Structure 1
């Protein structure tokens, strides 16, 4: 009987631990999520490279034609009351070419819809919210274009460039708060080099630069500063559209967002900006200035029309590249690429024009070097871990 008695203290059998996977949600703005979820950030090198080419080509041609325009309208004959003639026209030229984007938008949208499964309901599109956002972006686009055009006519171009470069300070600040972007050391280095690049273009010249009697440092400086702020807000709000609306359309599907979204943002926002610029142009009476400029253009009416149309087309190429970089990577890289293009423009202006005996000096040379280093710093780690550093 004693042999059958159970011991008072029985050894507890060994427990087998079972690992239960937990579905831990991560902030959509973290680097891990942006890399792991390829549906959120459609990073593809061909798209990124093509967008960079569009930025460089579009901005370079547009700036060269702008210099050609100011050089041939005999602006030196303008009096103080006509100093800011054409600022609404320059703002209009940046957006009025948006109908050119309709055909690629229709083609890409049709192709994407044929591949999209399952169909997305209209509730997911947030049409009303997007309409309000596009109106706000359009307003910012028109204001930014107008302020930038006015600043260049009020202060020396070197001072305008230095002030306008402050957009590289505001863009990461807005991106951190609006887009919740987190930075690593290579992105910070890239931003610093881009700021140096922009600042070193202070020796560049501009066809519409005011003479000593026309300089208005107060209005020109404020215009340049707020133009830079508007450009930073513009890029960050566009990224907000992609992150919170466009990418969410395809979260429940296996399909990635279409590049047609870039054209969608540009078409609707540019429509609003164009309407505002046209109204401003008519109120300011610049339609009469256009006729006078065309008749007095030293190269003839045909060259005047080609210069204006060329600017409108080139700005659309530029905007497709800028917004394409926001779509594929981030507002920060988009701004960096935009600024490091400035030295290329300044060198080409020297080669094509002869403003105030401008020449290729040491500042332009160093600016080209820092521009290359800025781009290299941003993409440095991407060569080892694809897109790890892309925001």
Structure 2
């Protein structure tokens, strides 16, 4: 199994000791399971988030908060992890890793960036039809390639460059389309442009976050086990949640929550279920992200996240009656093309890495008398 994990990572990435103990079918089963978590969680969270706004919700800070507030769910995997694994690989072990103070600074900085990123996503989802929003988010893979090149020494091949151009063009196509603002009368052209800019900014920030996390693993923590990855997710989500709570009270939006609760079009119970559902869905997606970072890499995790984007507009048309005009269809096809181009590059890298491992193994075996 070490060949598979090596094949999906850049040569400078850290190997995961736990994944090397998995059998071939176990590794693939876990990868598929985490892909399903990510796709289902991201799709459900985006659709429920749109439903929240569509049915009378209006708090951007509450929408931001619920994206990370249910992070305690991530403590559940610790129940199934061996105690020795936790103690030996914990990122707070000062004898073999960075100091608690250094990790606190890193997690705080990342958490604040995550909070700002979630706020931009909340504005984007409020001011854009969900189909347009999800397609614009496809640009995150292009940004990921750029940040990974500068921060993580990722190779910039013609296929990656092709993916960057296509995904950027897909987002730009929606930005200049007059009809992409959708049917709602309360969404003015100015709000649409603001939503477009903030969603692109959020996509870039999300990609930066993943690259910074990978850089932290490589340069600071210098080990990447499931426990360490979970710790990073939990602590950064804690900081992001605290920042969102401060924003919620500082902005005064908390005063309007009782009225929002009372006036929710589908009723009070539906309001609670929607808010909790969004939080749970984002944590399910987070588990998928964590799992794919652990089993493969952060770049692959982002690529799978992009795979959900063509799925969301289809459900948006079915459940929210979003318009799917020719420009959106073209943008979706271009985004899929860009994603396939990126994925094919990962496939080529995987074949090359496995061949290199086989050649090394054969040379090693031949040298044994």
TM-score by length of structure 1 reads: 0.72
CA offsets per residue over residues 2-38 of structure 1, 9 Å max, x none? xxxxxxxxxxxxxxxxxxxxxxxxxxxx945659x66
Aligned-pair CA distance for 1:291:
1.4
Match for 1:49 among 27, 32, 36? 32
Q: Is the 8 A contact 1:198 1:342 kept in 2?
A: no
1:60 equivalent to 2:43? Answer: yes
Give 1:89's aligned residue. 62
Structure 2: which 5+ runs fail to align? Answer: 1-8, 357-369
Give 1:310's aligned residue. 277
CA distance in structure 2 between the partners assigned to 1:339 and 1:291 by the alignment? 36
CA distance in structure 2 between the partners assigned to 1:270 and 1:302 by the alignment? 26
Give 1:124's aligned residue. 96
Match for 1:70 among 29, 50, 53? 53
Match for 1:276 among 221, 227, 243? 243
Match for 2:226 among 259, 273, 295? 259
Q: Is the 8 A contact 1:154 1:210 kept in 2?
A: no
- 1:15-54 matched pairs, under 5 angstroms: 31-32=10-11, 34=13, 39=17, 44-54=27-37
Give 2:207's aligned residue. 232
TM-score by length of structure 2 reads: 0.76
- Relative distance call for 1:188 and 1:169 in structure 2 (3 A) is same
Q: Is the 8 A contact 1:97 1:312 kept in 2?
A: yes
Give 1:343's aligned residue. 310
1:177 equivalent to 2:144? Answer: no
Paired residues, number: 337
Aligned-pair CA distance for 1:358:
4.8
Q: Larger Cα Rg: Structure 1 or Structure 2? A: 1
Q: Is the 8 A contact 1:198 1:340 kept in 2?
A: no
Give 1:285's aligned residue. 252
Q: Is the 8 A contact 2:132 2:180 kept in 1?
A: no
Match for 1:104 among 65, 77, 81? 77
CA offsets per residue over residues 231-252 of structure 1, 9 Å max, x none? 1221111112222344x34xxx
Secondary structure in structure 1 of the residue aligned to 2:186:
coil
Aligned-pair CA distance for 1:349:
1.3
CA distance in structure 2 between the partners assigned to 1:218 and 1:358 by the alignment? 19
Q: Is the 8 A contact 1:67 1:207 kept in 2?
A: no
Secondary structure in structure 2 of the residue aligned to 1:370:
helix
Aligned-pair CA distance for 1:374:
4.3
- Relative distance call for 1:185 and 1:108 in structure 2 (3 A) is farther
Pairwise CA RMSD: 3.8
Q: Is the 8 A contact 2:159 2:342 kept in 1?
A: no
Q: Is the 8 A contact 2:139 2:167 kept in 1?
A: no
CA distance in structure 2 between the partners assigned to 1:320 and 1:364 by the alignment? 29
- Relative distance call for 1:244 and 1:68 in structure 2 (3 A) is same
Bigger share in helix: 2
Task: Choose 161-170 or 144-153, whichever is displaced more.
Answer: 161-170
- 1:127-146 matched pairs, under 5 angstroms: 127-146=100-119
Secondary structure in structure 1 of the residue aligned to 2:81:
helix
Structure 1: which 5+ runs fail to align? Answer: 1-29, 76-84, 250-256
CA distance in structure 2 between the partners assigned to 1:313 and 1:337 by the alignment? 19
- Relative distance call for 1:319 and 1:199 in structure 2 (3 A) is farther
